[in-house]
Amino acid sequence: MLNDVKVVIINPTYNEKENISRLIPILQEEFKKISHEMHILVVDDNSPDGTAEIVKDLMKVSSNIHLITGQKQGLGAAYIRGMIYAMEKLGADAVMEMDADFSHKPEDVKRLIAELDKGFDFVIGSRYVPGGTIPREWGFFRRMNSKFGNIFARFVAGLYHVHDCTAGFRAIKTDLLKKFDLGSIRAQGYSFQMNLLYQAVNHGAKVKEVPVDFIDRKMGQSKLGLSDIAEFMLNAWMIRFERSETFLKFAIVGSSGVLVNLGVLWFLHDVLKTSDLIASPFAVEASIFSNFVLNNYWTFGGRNRYVTDRFFKKFVKFNLVSLTALVITFSIFYILTRFFGVYYLLAQMGGIALAMFWNYFVNLNWTWNIKSNIKE
Ligand code: GDD
Ligand code: MN
C-alpha cells in the first residue's frame, strides 16, 4: 500500500474510562513508526462511566481521533456502525478491530498492518497459531469458552482453515468490506467476529494469521455474557445450514446427472442405433458434462467470482474427481459384496453415498477452490 493510505483503528468501548485514556496516547506514539495515515475511531455506547467525555477531551488536541456514540446493542453492532462510518465518513482504506482494554498490544498494530502491505486483505492477530498465546491467568471457564468457540466456528461453521475465528484484533482492507453488505450481518454480539470472517472467506479474502499474545485486562471487566455464547452457537449452525443448501443443490444436480446418463444412453442406442459399448461411456461423459455445467452456474455459481481457475481447467478437475468417485464406488462395492456378503444393490448404494460426499468435498475445496487464499 502507498503512503497516503488511511487506516482507521476502531476501538469499541463500554465503560472503559481508565483504559481508553491511556490507550489513545500510546497508540499515537506507535503511529510514528507506521508510514500510513493513522486514525482512531472510538465507538462508545453511551457508557455511564463517561468514556465519551474522556475521548472528547483528547479530540481537542488531535485531529486523527474520532468518536461516534449510540445505544448499547452489542459488540458486533458497534463494529458494524464503526466500519460503515470509517468507510463512508472517513474514507478509510483499511480498518482495524482492537479492544480498548489493552488485551491487544499496541506494538502489534504495525505487525498486522505490515501484512496488509504485503497484499493480504484480512489479517488476524491470532492466539491459536504457533507463537500466539492466551493469558495464563485465564480460568477454566474462560479457556473452554474460547476453545469451544473456535471449535464451533471451525467445525460447525466450516472455517477449518483459520485457527482463531473469534479474535477481536484484526486489520481489514475496505475494498474487501465493500464487496459484501455489512448491514446484512445479523450478529449483534461477539459472534460478529465469526460472521465477518465467514463473509470474508466467502468473498475470496486473502487471510493471514499473525501470532499475538492476548493480555488479560487489568482494569474494568469483560462484557462477554451468556447471551453472546447462545448467539454464537446459533450463528455457527446458521452458517452450517447455509452451506447445506449448497450440498443440497449438489445432490440435486447429481441426481439429474443420472437422468441425463440414461437418456443419452437410450438415445444413442435405440434412436441412433449406436453400439452400446460406445453409447455407455459417451452417456457417462455427457452426464459429467451436464453436472459440471449445472454445478458451475448454479451450485457454486456464487463462488465463481473468486475462483481463479477457468471453465476448462475446472472441467478437467471435475472429470478427475468423477474418476476417483468411480474408483471409490467400485472399491466399496467390492469390499461390501466380497467380504461382508452385502446385497449387491445395497453395496452399490453405499458406494454411491460415499462417493457423493467425496465428490462434494473435493469439488468444493479443489475444483471451485477459493480457500487457497488463506495463509497461516
Ligand atoms: N461499544 C461497545 N458496545 N463496546 C463493547 C460492547 C458493546 O456492547 N461490548 C464490549 N465492548 C468493548 C469493550 O469495552 C472492549 O473495549 C472490547 O469491546 C472487548 O470487550 P471485552 O468485554 O473486554 O471482551 P473480552 O475480553 O471478553 O473478549 C475478547 O475476546 C473475544 C474472543 O475470545 C475480545 O477480543 C472479543 O472481540 C473476542 O471475540
Ligand atoms: Mn477484554
Q: Whose CA is nearest to atom 17 of ligand 1?
A: 99
Mean pLDDT score, 349-363: 89
CA nearest 9: which of 133, 94, 76, 87? 94
CA nearest 79: which of 56, 91, 92, 96? 96
Measure 113 CA to ligand 2 centroid, in angstroms.
21
Which three three-digit cell numbers place residue 221? 471487566
Q: Where are the alpha helices (DSSP H) in 267-310?
A: 276-294
Share of residues in the chain with pLDDT > 90 (%): 74
Name the closest ligand to CA 169. 1
Q: Which domains does the chain have, with CATH numbers?
A: 6-224 (3.90.550.10), 244-375 (no CATH)
Q: How many CB atoms lie within 10 A of CB 46?
A: 11
**CB-based contact 123:162 (threshold 8 Å):** no
Name the closest ligand to CA 41. 1
CA nearest 362: which of 333, 336, 327? 327
What band does 359 get if pLDDT is binned at 50, 70 and 90? very high
Q: How many CA atoms lie within 13 A of 314 on its CB side?
A: 24
Mean pLDDT score, 15-44: 97
Q: Which comes out higher in pLDDT, residue 244 or 191?
A: 191
pLDDT > 90? residue 243: no
Mean pLDDT score, 238-249: 89
**pLDDT digit string (tens) for 282-336?**
999 999 999 999 999 999 988 877 777 889 999 999 999 999 999 998 999 999 9
**pLDDT digit string (tens) for 149-190?**
999 999 899 898 999 999 999 999 999 999 988 888 888 899
**pLDDT digit string (tens) for 261-285?**
999 999 999 999 988 888 988 999 9
- Three-state secondary structure call for residue 240: helix
> C-alpha 151: how far from its chain's center?
14
What secondary structure does DSSP assign to 191-240, as a single string? Answer: THHHHHHHHHHHTT--EEEEE-BPPPPSSS-----HHHHHHHHHHHHHHH
pLDDT score, position 166: 96
Measure 344 CA to ligand 2 centroid, in angstroms.
59
Burial class (CB in 10 A: 0-12, 13-18, 19+), 306: middle
**pLDDT digit string (tens) for 71-116?**
999 999 999 999 999 999 999 999 999 999 999 999 999 999 999 9
pLDDT score, position 94: 98
Name the closest ligand to CA 20. 1
Ligand 1 pocket, Cβ-based, cut-off 6 angstroms: 12-14, 16, 43-45, 72, 74-75, 78, 99-101, 103, 146, 166, 168, 190, 193, 217, 222-224
Mean pLDDT score, 246-271: 93
pLDDT score, position 38: 98
What type of residue is 63?
Answer: S
pLDDT score, position 376: 43
Share of residues in the chain with pLDDT > 70 (%): 98
What band does 3 get if pLDDT is binned at 50, 70 and 90? low
